[in-house]
Amino acid sequence: MSSERNSKLVMMSRNSQDAELVLAHLIHPVTVKKLVGRWLEEDTPSFDYGGFVVGERVESAVLLCKSAGVLAGVPFFNAIFEELGCTVDWQIPEGTLLEPVNEPITTAIVTGKVRHILLGERVALNCITRASGIATQARRMADIAQGARWHGEVSGTRKTTPGFRLVEKDALLVGGISTHRHDLSAMIMLKDNHIWSAGNITQAVKDAKRVGGFCTKIEVECRSVEEALEAAAAGADVVMLDNFEPQALHPAAREIKDRYPHILVESSGGVREDTLYKYMGPHVDIISLGITTQGYQTVDFSFKIRKQGKNPHNPRVQTTL
């Protein structure tokens, strides 16, 4: 791990009640094993030519963080190398804000047969760079909400990468914001296409309640206060005010809450990180943003075999002379 002179580590604050809770315990081991198997098979569908060259000597490699970001994706990184018979020794816990200054931060050490380490290298880097990028942006948004002393929740959406949703949703939690529904089965959300096809909001909610029962929340996407009030009267649990500008959102949310105080009001559509604070208000409970999993910058990590006389930091070439 780099010295304090060369790096700064800012730990995610946690209260004492959370001390025994580990986000990685949310992830089903069978599910992640299946995901990892597909990823590894995609990256090496036939011969491992590079593995033939390096063989099966036991080696160690270092994971180096080269740009600022919140470390996330650890359970998936672990699972990739466990599948390959390697061990991972983390130098820094997940959720830490890494801020390299003069040199990269040694984040983890992977040990195992060298060809197995290299089989997992790119797949693991793809996970850790993307997950950490999502968590970093999520942390900034969580900090905005905390700074505004807002009571509600900033949330992701279902706008995720096919086959990568579990990693992305987990990264949102590491960053400190909500995931929203995980999939179509997690909550009943009736959007405009559902309403138009069903005929009207009242009928759509009635039909949804018949199959969802008491244990499944119903959310309705609304484009006006009138639609939101109809949804609330029909028995919806959450109304989403879609594409409302802040000046229209807050009076609409207040009117809905005055009539139906138990209803959760969500704002969604067109919200950016730099405008997030404008959508926070006393009558808005949720703000969801697609950019949480679509508009983030990845964190730069590298992965190098440790060898005497070799510099794993891989400095940039300044001149060929």
Residue tagged 């992830």 (tokens): 27
pLDDT digits (tens, 9 = 90+) for 248-293: 999 999 999 999 999 999 999 999 999 999 999 999 999 999 999 9
Write down the mean pLDDT value for the chain. 92
What proportion of the chain, given as a percentage, has pLDDT over 70? 91
Which amino acid belongs to residue 99? E
Which amino acid belongs to residue 70? V
Enumerate the active-site residues. 159
pLDDT for residue 8 is more than 50: no
pLDDT digits (tens, 9 = 90+) for 101-147: 989 999 999 999 999 999 999 999 999 999 999 999 999 999 999 99
pLDDT for residue 3 is more than 90: no
Q: What is the pLDDT of residue 2?
A: 35
Residue 192 CB neighbours (<10 A): 13
Q: What is the pLDDT of residue 321?
A: 59
Three-state secondary structure readout of the chain: CCCCCCEEEECCCCCHHHCCCCHHHHCCHHHHHHHHHHHHHHHCCCCCHHHHHHCCCEEEEEEEECCCEECCCHHHHHHHHHHCCCEEEECCCCCCEEEECCCCEEEEEEEEEHHHHHHHHHHHHHHHHHHHHHHHHHHHHHHHHHHCCCCCEEECCCCCCCCCHHHHHHHHHHHCCECCCCCCCCCEEECHHHHHHHCCHHHHHHHHHHHHHHHCCEEEEECCHHHHHHHHHHCCCEEEEECCCHHHHHHHHHHHHHHCCCCEEEEECCCCHHHHHHHCCCCCCEEECCHHHHCCCCCCEEEEECCCCCCCCCCCCCCCC
Q: What is the pLDDT of residue 289?
A: 96
